[in-house]
C-alpha cells in the first residue's frame, strides 16, 4: 500500500483507463500491455495488494463481481468432475450451482461442511475435484475448520476453495491453513463503501488449474474495470481500520442482543456459546467479523415488522459497508433456503454501537406492540 508512482512521486497510484496500447517497432509489447480485456495496470496494482494480504503465491485476479470470480473456478473444472459444497453459503451462488453447474457436466453434493464427518463422507476419492466452503457461512455464520477441510479435500485428490467474504484477510487467511484458492466478493468489506461491485480470487500456487481460471477471465471479459479497481485501492487503504471497528461493534451488539427479551437466538461465532466458537478462535484473529444474525420473537411476522421499523439501520441487501444494514433473508432466498423465517441478518457498520443497539431495541419493541 506504500508504493510510490515513479514518474511523479505521487503517494497515490494513477488511474489507467486506456483500452489499447502501442506496439513496439519489432511488433512486441515491451510495456507488458496490449489490450485492456485481459489486463490493466490499475487492476494489476490492486491485485498485488490483495495477493499480499492473502499471502497468495500465484497472485490475485480481480473480476467484475463476486459471482464472476466464483463461477470462473467452477468453469475451470472438467465435465464429469464432482464438487462438494456447503448447504450454508451465499444463496445466489448456490442457486447458480443447482441450475447451471449440471448443464456444464458437473455433479454436486451439498453437505454441512461444519460437520467434518459428513464432509469426509461426501468427498469421493479420485472423483471429487473441488471442495467449496464458506466460513463463516452466510447467513447462519456457521464455521468450518479450514485446515481439516483441506486435509479431507487433498486426501481425495481435490482442491479446497474458500469463500472468505465474511472474514476478510484481516480475520482469516485461508491459504495459510491449507486452502488452494480463496474467493471474496470484494463488493463487501474489502471495498466497504457500497460503491463498487467486484470479486477476487487468490491462489496458493500457479499451476494449470490457475492458468485455466486466468484464461476464463481473459476470454469471457470478466476483468474488473480500472475505475472500480482504483476505488477498491482507495478502500483497501482503510481495510484494517474498518474491519477492526466493525468486528468490535458486531461483538458488542451480539453480546447485548443475547439478553434481549424479544431476541430468541443470536448467531455470531464470537459468542462463547456459539457452536463454531472454538474453531473460530483457532482460525480467526483480531475479531470474528462484522456479520451476525438474530432470530426474533413472533416468527416471520415479528422479524419483518422489526426490519420495517428501524431508523438508523438501512433496510437493504449486501453487507460489509460502513453503513449498517438489516435484511430478512428468508424473503430474499425463497423456498429451499436454510434460513429460518424469523431471522434477520445484520451487517454492522461503523456507527456508534449504542445508537445501533438503541435503534434495534426500539424496532423490536415497536414491532411487538411495545
Q: Could you say which of 81, 145, 159, 163 is catalytic?
A: 163
Q: What is the pLDDT of residue 337?
A: 86
Which bin fits 319, alpha (ψ -120 to 50), beta or left (φ > 0)? beta
Mean pLDDT of the region 24-52: 93
For the stretch 92-125, pLDDT in tens is 999 999 999 999 999 999 999 999 999 999 999 9
Known catalytic residue at 180 = no
For the stretch 143-199, pLDDT in tens is 999 999 999 999 999 999 999 999 999 999 999 999 999 999 999 999 999 999 999
Which bin fits 325, alpha (ψ -120 to 50), beta or left (φ > 0)? beta
List residues bridging with 29 in a β-sheet: none
In the chain, residues under CATH classification 3.40.640.10 are 41-234
Q: Which CATH architecture has domain 41-234?
A: 3-Layer(aba) Sandwich (3.40)
pTM score: 0.95
Mean pLDDT of the region 48-57: 98
Q: What is the pLDDT of residue 2?
A: 64
In the chain, residues under CATH classification 3.90.1150.10 are 239-368
Q: In sequence order, which residues have a C-beta less than 8 Å from that of residue 6 and are 6 or more positions away? A: none
Q: Could you say which of 37, 212, 234, 309 is catalytic?
A: 37
Contact in structure between 253 and 290 (CB atoms under 8 Å): no
Question: CA–CA separation, 5 vs 350, rounded Å?
Answer: 31
Residue 346, classified by CB atoms within 10 Å of its CB into exposed (0-12), middle (13-18) or buried (19+), is buried
pLDDT band for position 1 (cuts 50, 70, 90): low
Known catalytic residue at 188 = yes
Known catalytic residue at 345 = no
Q: Could you say which of 90, 230, 268, 357 is catalytic?
A: 90
Q: Could you say which of 188, 242, 329, 345 is catalytic?
A: 188
Cell readout for 230 is: 482504483
Cell numbers 424479544 correspond to: 262
301 vs 36: which has the higher pLDDT: 301
Q: Does domain 239-368 have CATH number 3.20.19.10?
A: no
Known catalytic residue at 163 = yes
**DSSP code of 348?**
-
Amino acid at each position: 500500500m506504500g508504493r510510490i508512482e515513479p514518474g511523479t512521486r505521487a503517494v497515490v497510484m494513477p488511474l489507467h483507463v486506456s483500452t489499447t496500447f502501442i506496439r513496439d517497432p519489432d511488433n512486441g509489447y515491451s510495456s507488458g500491455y496490449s489490450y485492456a480485456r485481459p489486463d490493466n495496470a490499475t487492476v494489476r496494482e490492486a491485485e498485488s495488494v490483495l495477493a499480499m494480504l492473502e499471502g497468495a503465491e500465484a497472485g490475485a485476479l480481480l473480476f467484475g463481481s463476486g459471482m464472476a470470480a466464483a463461477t470462473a473456478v467452477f468453469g475451470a473444472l472438467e465435465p464429469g468432475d464432482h464438487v462438494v459444497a456447503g448447504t450454508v453459503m451465499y444463496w445466489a451462488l448456490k442457486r447458480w450451482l443447482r441450475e447451471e453447474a449440471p448443464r456444464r457436466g458437473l455433479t454436486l453434493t451439498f453437505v454441512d461442511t461444519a460437520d467434518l464427518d459428513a464432509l469426509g463422507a461426501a468427498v469421493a476419492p479420485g472423483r471429487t475435484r473441488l471442495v467449496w466452503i464458506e466460513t463463516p457461512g452466510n447467513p447462519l455464520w456457521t464455521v468450518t475448520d479450514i485446515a481439516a477441510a483441506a486435509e479431507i479435500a487433498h486426501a481425495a485428490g481435490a482442491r479446497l476453495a474458500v469463500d472468505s467474504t465474511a472474514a476478510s484477510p484481516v480475520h482469516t487467511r485461508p491459504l495459510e491453513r491449507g486452502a488452494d484458492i480463496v474467493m471474496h466478493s470484494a463488493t463487501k468489506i474489502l471495498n466497504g463503501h457500497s460503491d463498487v461491485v467486484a470479486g477476487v480470487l487468490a491462489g496458493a500456487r500457479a499451476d494449470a488449474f490457475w492458468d485455466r481460471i486466468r484464461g476464463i477471465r481473459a476470454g469471457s471479459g470478466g476483468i474488473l474495470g480500472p475505475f472500480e479497481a482504483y476505488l477498491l485501492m482507495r478502500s483497501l487503504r482503510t481495510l484494517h481500520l474498518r474491519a477492526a471497528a466493525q468486528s468490535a461493534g458486531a461483538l458488542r451488539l451480539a453480546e447485548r442482543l443475547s439478553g434481549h427479551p424479544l431476541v430468541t437466538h443470536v448467531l455470531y461465532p464470537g459468542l462463547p456459546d456459539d457452536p463454531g466458537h472454538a474453531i473460530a478462535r483457532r482460525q480467526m484473529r483480531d475479531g470474528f467479523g462484522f456479520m451476525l444474525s438474530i432470530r426474533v420473537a413472533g416468527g416471520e411476522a415479528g422479524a419483518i415488522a422489526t426490519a420495517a421499523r428501524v431508523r438508523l439501520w438501512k433496510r437493504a441487501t449486501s453487507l460489509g459497508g460502513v453503513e449498517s444494514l438489516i435484511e430478512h433473508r428468508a424473503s430474499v432466498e425463497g423456498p429451499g433456503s436454510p434460513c429460518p423465517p424469523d431471522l434477520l441478518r445484520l451487517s454492522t457498520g461503523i456507527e456508534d454501537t449504542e445508537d445501533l443497539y438503541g435503534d434495534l431495541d426500539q424496532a423490536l419493541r415497536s414491532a411487538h406492540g411495545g
